[in-house]
Amino acid sequence: MLIARTFSELRDANKKLAGSLGLVPTMGALHEGHLALIKAARAGSGKVAASIFVNPLQFAPNEDFARYPRDEPGDLAKLASAGCDLVWLPDVATMYPEDAATTISVGGPADLWEGAARPGHFAGVATVVAKLFGQVRPQAAYFGEKDWQQVQVIRRMATDLLLSVQIVPVPTVREKDGLALSSRNRFLTPAERQAAPALYAALAQAALAIAGGTPAAEALAQAETLLAKAGMLTDYLVLVDTQSLAPLQSAIAPARIIAAARLGSVRLLDNVRV
Ligand code: PAF
């Protein structure tokens, strides 16, 4: 596995890996969900590159940038055994030189939900992802569906900026009890970890109810009650159009339920298809 930390190392590595390249952008602290992205990239693209960069631009000052988990040796070992060909490990000065003056402004699917709860977050995501595409030059890039809205924002950005990168969503990997894998799950206390699967259970139940004819508002209210019983504070729990993320009153269009809920100090995200 090639490791690049500077542009010249990245250029050399790119030459060695001539041919079709799939990129898995990550912020490290890798888990089975990330390894599923590597697996999908191996199946879909000839060679696989992963990037590890905890992107300061997507964290607000009051968010958890400093405590975001970092484990470079552990991540490199996991990537090597998953068959990754190249790891790109830029530092902050490489990604954001002092004289940098350009960021990407996002609208459409970025406007509501996570976009409203975390102003500037998706602009930070879109900017770093566009830079990673420019640096690594992949034909395809792989993103986890757990962050459903993020995938739609990146897809929109790649389409609008005419970036010739195929955006490939990969299904969420879950623990046996349904909890979606996330690098932030490690911050759950044992009691919170026990309660956390209620999020997926509530979403799955609401999706079934809506598909079975229960009015969406009623099914979503029931789901929110389940979350409250499990000790969670719901930020949003909504039925949305799968691509535009516009709110829906019923599942007439392709629809998804997306949710964010707080459990102790951890904000859990999840979503299900209806
Ligand atoms: O999903 C993530 O880990 C990040 O938002 C991403 C896509 C790597 C951009 O920093």
Reported as a single tens digit per residue, the pLDDT across 70-116 is 999 999 999 999 999 999 999 999 999 999 999 999 999 999 999 99
- How many Å from the N-terminal Cα to the C-terminal Cα in the chain? 40
Instruction: Compare 253 and 63 and report the one with higher pLDDT.
Output: 63
CA of 231 to the centre of ligand 1 (A): 28
* Residue 176 lies inside a defined structural domain of this protein: no
| Residue to substitute in 147, 149, 168, 185 for testing ligand 1 pocket (most ligand atoms within 8 angstroms of CB) | 147
Question: What percent of the chain is predicted at pLDDT more than 90?
Answer: 97
Do residues 191 and 163 share a domain?
no
Q: How far apart are CA 108 and CA 100, in angstroms?
A: 25
Any ligand 1 atom below 6 A from CB of 125: yes
SS3 string, the chain, reads CEEECCHHHHHHHHHHCCCCEEEEEECCCCCHHHHHHHHHHHHHCCEEEEEECCCHHHCCCCCCCCCCCCCHHHHHHHHHHCCCCEEECCCHHHHCCCCCCCCCCCCHHHCCCHHHHCCCHHHHHHHHHHHHHHHHCCCEEEEEHHHHHHHHHHHHHHHHCCCCCEEEEECCCECCCCCECCHHHHHCCHHHHHHCCHHHHHHHHHHHHHHCCCCHHHHHHHHHHHHHHCCCEEEEEEEEECCCCCECCCCCCCEEEEEEEEECCEEEEEEEEC
* Residue 222 lies inside a defined structural domain of this protein: yes
Ligand 1 atom with the smallest distance to the CA of 125 is: 9
Reported as a single tens digit per residue, the pLDDT across 16-31 is 998 899 999 999 999 9
* Residue 175 lies inside a defined structural domain of this protein: no
Ligand 1 atom with the smallest distance to the CA of 129 is: 9
The residue from 170, 198, 233 where one domain ends is 170
* Residue 130 lies inside a defined structural domain of this protein: yes
Question: What percent of the chain is predicted at pLDDT more than 70?
Answer: 100
Do residues 86 and 53 share a domain?
yes
| Nearest CA-CA partner of 19 in 50, 46, 51, 49 | 46
* Residue 36 lies inside a defined structural domain of this protein: yes
Do residues 142 and 193 share a domain?
no
At residue 18, the pLDDT reads 84
Any ligand 1 atom below 6 A from CB of 25: yes
CATH number at residue 194: 3.30.1300.10
The residue from 170, 196, 218 where one domain ends is 170
Any ligand 1 atom below 6 A from CB of 128: yes
Residue with CA closest to ligand 1 atom 2: 26
Which residues constitute the domain of residue 247? Answer: 183-273
> Into how many domains does the chain fold?
2
Residue with CA closest to ligand 1 atom 5: 125
CA of 154 to the centre of ligand 1 (A): 10
Do residues 198 and 152 share a domain?
no
Do residues 15 and 97 share a domain?
yes
Do residues 189 and 142 share a domain?
no
The residue from 113, 142, 170 where one domain ends is 170
* Residue 159 lies inside a defined structural domain of this protein: yes
Do residues 31 and 99 share a domain?
yes
* Residue 177 lies inside a defined structural domain of this protein: no
CATH number at residue 76: 3.40.50.620
Residue with CA closest to ligand 1 atom 8: 26
Token duo for residue 159: 């389409």
Any ligand 1 atom below 6 A from CB of 55: yes
Binned at pLDDT 50, 70 and 90, residue 252 comes out as confident
Catalytic residues: 34
| Nearest CA-CA partner of 34 in 71, 67, 79, 1 | 79
- Mean of the per-residue pLDDT values of the chain: 97
Reported as a single tens digit per residue, the pLDDT across 162-216 is 999 999 999 999 999 999 999 999 999 999 999 999 999 999 999 999 999 999 9
At residue 19, the pLDDT reads 86
Helical axes 121-136 vs 148-160, angle rounded to 10°: 60
Residue with CA closest to ligand 1 atom 1: 26
Cβ(263)–Cβ(188) under 8 Å? yes
Looking at residues 215-227, what average pLDDT do you find? 98
Enumerate residues 6+ apart whose C-beta is below 8 A from 241: 248, 253, 254, 255, 256
CA of 17 to the centre of ligand 1 (A): 24
Distance of CA 195 to the CA centre of its chain: 22
* Residue 46 lies inside a defined structural domain of this protein: yes
Using a 10 angstrom Cβ sphere, with 0-12 exposed, 13-18 middle and 19 or more buried, the burial of residue 62 is exposed
Do residues 122 and 148 share a domain?
yes
Do residues 68 and 159 share a domain?
yes
Looking at residues 136-142, what average pLDDT do you find? 97
At residue 145, the pLDDT reads 98
Do residues 227 and 111 share a domain?
no
Do residues 163 and 217 share a domain?
no
Do residues 190 and 249 share a domain?
yes
Binned at pLDDT 50, 70 and 90, residue 46 comes out as confident
